[in-house]
Structure 1
Amino acid sequence: MSIDRQPRSSLRQVYVPFVPALWTVALGLWGLSRQHSMWRDEAATWQAARRSPAELWHMLGNIDAVHGCYYLLMHGLFACFGPSTTTLRLPSVLATAVAAACVAALGHRLAGARAGLAGGMAFGLLPAAQFQLQEGRPYALVAAGAGISTLLLVTLLHKPSRTAYWAAYGATVMVSGLLNWLSLLLLPAHLATLLWVGAGRGVWARWTTAATAATACVLPLILFSRGQSAQVAWIPPLTWHMMIGPAVLLAIGGAGALLDRPRAGRLSAASVGLPLLAVPQTGLLALSLIQPLFLDRYVFYSMLGLALLIGTAVGSAIRAAEPRAPRAAKWILPAVLAAAVVALLPQSLAKRSPASRVDDVLATASYVRHVKGTGSAVLFLPADRRDTAAVSPDAFAGLRDIALVRGPEESGNLKGTEASPEHLRTAMLAQRRILLVTDAEQAARPVTSEQDRTKTAVLEEYFTPVADRRVRGRRVTVYERLAPRA
């Protein structure tokens, strides 16, 4: 009997994480191009990844230092495989699959094979995961790092003397922190798990060493990027309604933890999953009281804890049903997954549409290609909307960017350097036709720079719109010069 059990156990250890990983990859490849769209955050990745290492280093000295390691990774991938939306998004697909596999492995180890399988499959279906699954940004990679480090921690709680595993744990936390230093909120979550299970002195000593080393390596990035905090000045202050989402997630996770019958001193899905869900969410809320930072993507990795607890709840339901209805119990997991797929299908379709993002730089560029005319000039309001031309320069061929003095690469940013308001006014008044690329009203932010105020004032006084169209979160308006007054 023992001879037969070992192969079955080994087989489960393989297929339990493998099936959710394969499932998540399939979800990621479905509609990967999002109808050939790209939004402003992905456009930032695109621009940074296409720069030389020297140009990228120059840029990081001014902006986006927090994403420097991710941009360097994407630069290498673009160099190897060429710039495309597939190259841009496939790392997130694979990273989310790794995260799903980690959830499944954790659930299997802590609550059984069916709980692991349910948790891993659930992770890829979560709306937040389906958003990050096809996002050309670092948050899915951070989630993969969080999953790997949590799995390593659980392994080390069983076998704490494995020095190589502790080194791998510290290195994984460090890499995740370099991709986004808010991922270090994972460490207090792991601290809560160690307190919950009553870890021994040896574990505490090794964990403290690994956590301290990882934090020390990320600390220079934290201190340097704090000098660029003006980049997140647009994030609104924390309000009560912003807490509704985290409260709902914690309620769902808490219900799953209760079904696991958590007890102090016992390593369980609850002791791992609940801190992993709750601590990053509440930690970011607390930080947002000091400086507004609350964006759910910054703690996307906390969804690992939610998926683990959901899987645990499904596993508990199966175990409860088995003594009374063993045949029906076998169908609980397939039925739950089928119901979840059907219920979340509208969300799944929505996440794969261009409307799921704030705007679409590719659709805007496509429209510009059709409306630009001979002798036209182009303006961007604000200057950040120049990303449309940076991503699709051929669409703007023949258009003169009359506000631009130095390009983004030379300026070490993503929007370039614009002329003074006086020079800009003179250049605008010399034009017969100006094409303006700006934000649609629902996505627009207040005009702040003097250059942008000048653009608005001159267009209103001396030009009249002859064509105006909203294109997936952006607005393209063609202006023609008014006839001089008699």
Structure 2
Amino acid sequence: MAALALGLWGIDRQDSMWRDESVTYQVAHRPLAELWGLLGHIDAVHGLYYLLMHTVFALWDGGLVALRLPSVLATAGAAAGVGAIGARLSGRLAGTLAGLVFALLPVTQQYAQEGRSYALVTAGVTWATYAFLRAVREPGLPRWWAVYGLLLGLSCWLHEFAALALVAHALTLWRLRVPQSVWRGWGVAAAGVGLALLPLMVVSSGQADRQLGWLGRPSLSAWLQLLAMAAVTLLLARLLRRRSELTTLAVPLALAPTGLLMVVSLAKPWYVDRYVLYGMTGPALLTGAALAHAIRHRHRLAVPTRVLTACLAAGTAVAVLLPWSLLVRSPESRKDDVVAVARAVEASARDGDAVLFLPARRREWLLSRPAVLDRLDDVALAESPTASHTLQGTELPAETIRRRVLAADRVIALTDPAGQPLDPFPQEKIKREVLGTEFRICRRTTVHGAQILVYARPGNCP
């Protein structure tokens, strides 16, 4: 219930939406034939999620609430799964506290209100882990391996990197020194997951450069975060050393998927923290068990000391978590805000003004607000997103863009904030060149994560 309440609290995020959510919104509103055409070109890895959201919007086109409600419900389900695992391994109190800790984590609250697949993946992996635990503890019931394979396979179809949970579970089996029969059951289930995922892997591998080409190798900050997480996780595991089954499950889940993806990303940059969000179930399980252990031993303290300790702990938790909870519900918690961009364009533009997106992928800022985009002349556009089976459409050759821009009197340019890297492509260079030499900036409006610039011929600014 806590996860559900936190997810519904401020679900519209002050009427904001960032560009990844905008992709979900506009793609999920495409007809099925056009959606299928898109998945053959890009974003096959998100195909099942887009189909789910297409169904949601067909049943209820509830705007931002409908966009995020599946993630809210999935996060509540994931928290329940964490609680169920914790209860199985350390008792009901530890399970309840683990589920509560998971729900309160700022990163959990952030993706509970995200119109993307990551909360659903986390819920699927969490309940697959529960089925894994039941299968290991009850080897005479093979149905749990079937449930495990089904849930993990479904999670992988929501996002391929859910398959890294297999590595964490294999490490758990190795540390537990389970009999060969358990290894066989897991191996059959893992093979089933791999076979089910194979068609998606074949299609998405051909899209990898377009899908992940924007990523760089993990930053120093990312490595430091991993080291900090490893330190906290291993410290909690040491404190709980007598609860070997819990630590043997939670530690690999917390560290293996993230660590492996970061190491792979030294050669092939694929790492983004949200791709392995489900790893946060590991620290939540450990923290819940540690808190339960502390509560069970509170009788060693005098009553006034117990009350003071409880008050200090509660006050510290509120002081630390409340600012984060407020932040993740603000537009500033994401890279940009397409709603704010559309409003700024609507206030600055006249009907028929030329519009340029620098770079072209920033066309996403207006695609989910077609009433604004339809007022403007998209002078660089060759084919629309739906006609070209792409996310943001295709653009004309550089010289054609030059001619069309020069034929305009006013141009509305949508760009990244100052200081961002500039794309080296010919179309992007020609946009910057023509605007810089033939036009003057009449107005500059800055919104979160974007700039809207109104250009006119020299001497024609109002």
Do these two structures clear the TM 0.5 threshold for a shared fold by scoring above it?
yes
Q: Is 1:224 matched with 2:203?
A: yes
Q: Is 1:254 matched with 2:254?
A: no
Q: Does the 8 Å CA contact 2:367/2:373 hold for their aligned counterparts?
A: no
- Change beyond 3 A, Cα 1:189–1:376: same
In structure 1, the residue matched to 2:248 is 271
Q: Matches of 1:217 and 1:326 in 2, distance apart?
A: 57
Query: After superposition, what is the alpha-carbon deviation per residue over 1:377-407, rounded to whole angstroms, capped at 9, x for unaligned?
Result: 1111111111122101112342111111211
Residue correspondence of structure 1 range 261-410 to structure 2 within 5 A: 261-262=241-242, 268-324=245-301, 336=313, 339-410=316-387
Q: TM-score, normalised by structure 1?
A: 0.90
Q: Does the 8 Å CA contact 1:189/1:279 hold for their aligned counterparts?
A: yes
Q: Does the 8 Å CA contact 1:262/1:271 hold for their aligned counterparts?
A: no
Aligned residues: 459
In structure 1, the residue matched to 2:151 is 172
In structure 2, the residue matched to 1:437 is 414
Q: Matches of 2:104 and 2:314 in 1, distance apart?
A: 9
In the alignment, which of 432, 435, 438 is matched to residue 462 of structure 1? 438
Q: Matches of 1:51 and 1:397 in 2, distance apart?
A: 17
Deviation at 1:375, TM superposition (A): 3.7
Q: Which runs of 5+ in 1 are unaligned?
A: 1-21
1:114 aligns to what SS in structure 2? helix
Deviation at 1:262, TM superposition (A): 4.4
Specify the code of the residue in structure 2 equivalent to 1:253: T
In structure 1, the residue matched to 2:22 is 43
In structure 1, the residue matched to 2:223 is 243
In the alignment, which of 446, 449, 454 is matched to residue 425 of structure 2? 449
Q: Matches of 2:398 and 2:130 in 1, distance apart?
A: 56
Query: After superposition, what is the alpha-carbon deviation per residue over 1:326-378, rounded to whole angstroms, capped at 9, x for unaligned?
Result: 89769977864553233111111111110011111111001111111244111
Deviation at 1:233, TM superposition (A): 1.9
Q: Does the 8 Å CA contact 1:39/1:359 hold for their aligned counterparts?
A: yes
In structure 2, the residue matched to 1:6 is none
Query: After superposition, what is the alpha-carbon deviation per residue over 1:146-185, rounded to whole angstroms, capped at 9, x for unaligned?
Result: 1101111111222122232221110111011111111111
Deviation at 1:482, TM superposition (A): 2.5
Deviation at 1:81, TM superposition (A): 0.9
Specify the code of the residue in structure 2 equivalent to 1:379: L
Q: Matches of 2:406 and 2:285 in 1, distance apart?
A: 62
- Change beyond 3 A, Cα 1:328–1:446: same
1:434 aligns to what SS in structure 2? strand
Q: Is 1:472 matched with 2:432?
A: no
Q: Does the 8 Å CA contact 2:135/2:142 hold for their aligned counterparts?
A: no
Deviation at 1:483, TM superposition (A): 5.7
In the alignment, which of 99, 108, 114 is matched to residue 87 of structure 2? 108
Instruction: Indicate the RMSD between aligned Cα atoms, in angstroms.
Output: 1.9
Q: Which runs of 5+ in 2 are unaligned?
A: none
In the alignment, which of 7, 17, 23 is matched to residue 2 of structure 2? 23
Q: Does the 8 Å CA contact 1:433/1:479 hold for their aligned counterparts?
A: yes
Deviation at 1:478, TM superposition (A): 0.4
Specify the code of the residue in structure 2 equivalent to 1:249: M
2:411 aligns to what SS in structure 1? strand
Q: Matches of 1:129 and 1:158 in 2, distance apart?
A: 29
- Change beyond 3 A, Cα 1:478–1:65: same
In structure 2, the residue matched to 1:186 is 165
1:478 aligns to what SS in structure 2? strand
Query: After superposition, what is the alpha-carbon deviation per residue over 1:256-282, rounded to whole angstroms, capped at 9, x for unaligned?
Result: 11121147xx5x221111111011121
Q: Decide which moves more: 166-175 or 111-120.
A: 111-120
Q: TM-score, normalised by structure 2?
A: 0.95
Residue correspondence of structure 1 range 78-93 to structure 2 within 5 A: 78-93=57-72
In structure 2, the residue matched to 1:66 is 45
Q: Does the 8 Å CA contact 1:318/1:330 hold for their aligned counterparts?
A: no
Deviation at 1:47, TM superposition (A): 1.5
Specify the code of the residue in structure 2 equivalent to 1:275: P
Q: Does the 8 Å CA contact 1:375/1:433 hold for their aligned counterparts?
A: no
Q: Is 1:123 matched with 2:99?
A: no
